[in-house]
Amino acid sequence: MDKSKFLNQNIRNDFPILSKKILEKNNLIYFDTAASSQKPNTVINETNDFYQNHYSNVSRGVHTLSVESTFRYEDARKKVQKFINAKSENEIIFTKSATEGINLIAQTFYEKYMQKGDEVILSLMEHHSNLIPWFFLRDKYGVVIKFAKINQYGEIDYNHFESLFTDKTKIVSLTHLSNVFGTELDKKAIKICNDKKVPILLDGCQSAAHLKIDVQQLECDFFVFSGHKTYGPAGIGVLYGVEELLSEMPPYQGGGGMIGEVSLEGASYADLPAKYEAGTPPLVEAHGLGVAIDYMNNIGIEKIIAHETELTKYAFNKLNELDFVEMHGGENNRNSIISFNLKNVHSHEVSSFLDVEGIAIRAGHHCCQPLMKHLGVNSTARLSFGIYNTVDEVDKFIEALHKCKEFFNK
Amino acid sequence: MNDLINELYQEIILDHGREPRNFGECDPHNKSADGHNPLCGDNLKLTFLLNKDDIIEDIKFTGEGCAISLASASLMTEKLKGKKIDIAEEIFNDFTNLVSGTSEDLKVLSEEDSLYALKGVGGFPMRVKCATMAWHAFKSALKS
């Protein structure tokens, strides 16, 4: 263990919820950041400040508050643009969630570029958000979905992936960081798509707060992530798309804010990014996301990655030593997420047992039912880390896991 | 050990979770339904034979799930076997009240019932669905 890689523990003071006692006596140990991260003071305070001092609708009025709200909303867009290094602000669309982003792409991309019988490639380890929007296309329009196999390490079988392409393959959508294995997608998957000139969507729900994101360097065509998994508020998501595609694709929802001119006969649509932002957007949440991005940048993404990688390695090795634990996926290429099962104990039991010890982990199928079937399990327990987690917490978790095993195997 | 955990995982629950009774499929049966907890993936299939006097002659289940869902299904089949439908429905109502923490006005269940062991689920609101999955399957099987 390289202690120099860990972040200063003072960081924990930034998160008020970490001082909460579970059942009035146990310190909270929050290992469920992959489901949703906790929020730092700055995000909470700035969100309050927006409502208290600056709030109005965006891009509509000409009064002072409208200007202040619009400034904050658009400033958040600039922050997101820099955060993922998009070429232009026009490529940043605010949605309510990453899920909405994927639905938006599936629907509008189909409308512009696809027809019955065309093919989409996904992988076996996508979560439901990156499955169901494509199932809709299959059910409604007769689109064919192909699934890339994965290996025992929780990585895509890239040979199999490449073999799935035909001249009918129109789009690929893959998780950038698996929410079950914590494995990062290899750049060669994107290269294969680029070589074949098939657009690729990266689902960045798990990667946005845990990897350095540079969409130009990644050479992906679309990228989605959510605010609430990146230390920001829930209710805000980001869709990045290369300008050329977003310009050509039709609008998603109709309403205020996305129009050019409207008459009773019809309407013209606004330019990017407003074209895809019908209705009053989650403006305060967008601002909160911008603040969360500032917060992460102030710490430093590289430092965050180093901290989480070291902690994940430490926890993986500790768990892997236990003969009563079954691990999913391999040791390498693993970032901030570990899935496991206690032999002969259902993950629900593990989670309830740990809960009363103050430890929050996820139990269940992680919105990945097809993957669970592939692994031959009904559910798994999952640890996932954020910047606020510590070695000490992992040790307490391991200790509690021993007690748990003894309790259920007595 | 924490009281809440001991309350939740009483010996009888662990026992039925490990070795569910009436596990299998009724042959013959005239009522069946699938239970499913979409939040976690647990599932079961319930079958039973309702005779002409509206009595549950036999009742069994198969499936996979956590100790709470298996024990609840197992204890349910033990309790409902031989019961008339109207009584079974009252048991259903009592049980759902019991595990959701409103156990003051139970009509047919008492502390002596083995099902009462599931009362501890009330301390874990997210586990109530585990305990009621089999029961909701029973309700929907009645309509089948």
All CATH 3.90.1150.10 domain ranges in chain A, comma separated: 3-30+300-408
> d(Cα A390, Cα A33) in Å, to the nearest integer?
13
| pLDDT of amino acid B1 | 55
Contact in structure between B130 and B68 (CB atoms under 8 Å):
yes
Range A87-105 burial, b when 16+ CB lie within 10 A, else e: eeebbbbbbbbbbbbbbbb
Question: What is the domain range of residue B137?
Answer: 3-142
Q: What CATH architecture applies to the domain A44-297?
A: 3-Layer(aba) Sandwich (3.40)
A3-30+300-408: CATH topology is: Aspartate Aminotransferase, domain 1 (3.90.1150)
Q: Is A369's CB within 8 Å of B41's CB?
A: yes
User: Taking CB atoms and an 8 Å cut-off, how many pairs form between chains A and B?
Assistant: 49
3-class secondary structure, A278: coil
Distance, C-alpha A281 to centroid of its chain: 20
Per-residue confidence band for A18, with pLDDT thresholds at 50, 70 and 90: very high
Chain B interface disruption, residue of A32, A343, A349, A361, most B CBs within 10 A = A349
Chain B interface disruption, residue of A22, A343, A348, A377, most B CBs within 10 A = A348
Neighbouring C-alpha atoms within 13 Å toward the C-beta of A88? 11
| pLDDT of amino acid A62 | 83
Tally Cβ neighbours within 10 Å of residue A295: 21
Contact in structure between A215 and A194 (CB atoms under 8 Å):
no
Q: Is A353's CB within 8 Å of B5's CB?
A: yes
Q: Is A346's CB within 8 Å of B124's CB?
A: no
B11 touches A: beta carbon within 8 Å = no
Here the tokens at position B60 are 């069994």
B40 touches A: beta carbon within 8 Å = yes
Here the tokens at position B128 are 């109530």
3-class secondary structure, A23: coil
The stretch A189-216 carries a mean pLDDT of: 98
Full-model pTM: 0.93
Among the options A193, A205, A367, A404, which is catalytic?
Answer: A367
3-class secondary structure, A367: coil
- Chain A residue numbers with beta carbons less than 8 Å from the beta carbon of B2 are 23, 356-357
Instruction: Kindly report, residue by residue over A154-178, the tens digit of the pLDDT.
Output: 999 999 999 999 999 999 999 999 9
Here the tokens at position A125 are 């380890």
The DSSP-derived string for chain B is --HHHHHHT-HHHHHHHHS-SSBS--SS-SEEEEEE-TTT--EEEEEEEE-TTSBEEEEEEEEE--HHHHHHHHHHHHHHTT-BHHHHHHHHHHHHHHHTT--TT-SS--TTSGGGGGGGGGG-GGGHHHHHHHHHHHHHHHT-
Partner-chain residue, chosen from B1, B39, B124, that has the shortest CB–CB distance to A352: B124
- Chain B residue numbers with beta carbons less than 8 Å from the beta carbon of A347 are 66
Element (H, E) at A64: helix A64-83
Q: What is the DSSP letter of A9?
A: G
| Domain count within chain B | 1
Indicate if the pLDDT at residue A61 is higher than 80.
Answer: no
All CATH 3.40.640.10 domain ranges in chain A, comma separated: 44-297
A409 touches B: beta carbon within 8 Å = no
Question: What does each of the 144 residues of chain B score in pLDDT, given as a tens digit?
Answer: 578 899 999 999 999 999 999 999 999 999 999 998 887 778 999 999 999 999 999 999 999 999 999 999 999 999 999 999 999 999 999 999 999 887 678 899 999 999 999 999 988 988 999 999 999 999 999 988
3-state helix, strand, coil in chain A (%, to 5): 45, 20, 40
Asked if A367 is an active-site residue, the reply is yes
**Hey, CA dihedral for A326, A329, A333, A337, is it positive or negative?**
negative
What values do phi and psi take at B93, rounded to 5?
A: -60, -45
Quote ipTM for the complex.
0.86
B1 touches A: beta carbon within 8 Å = yes
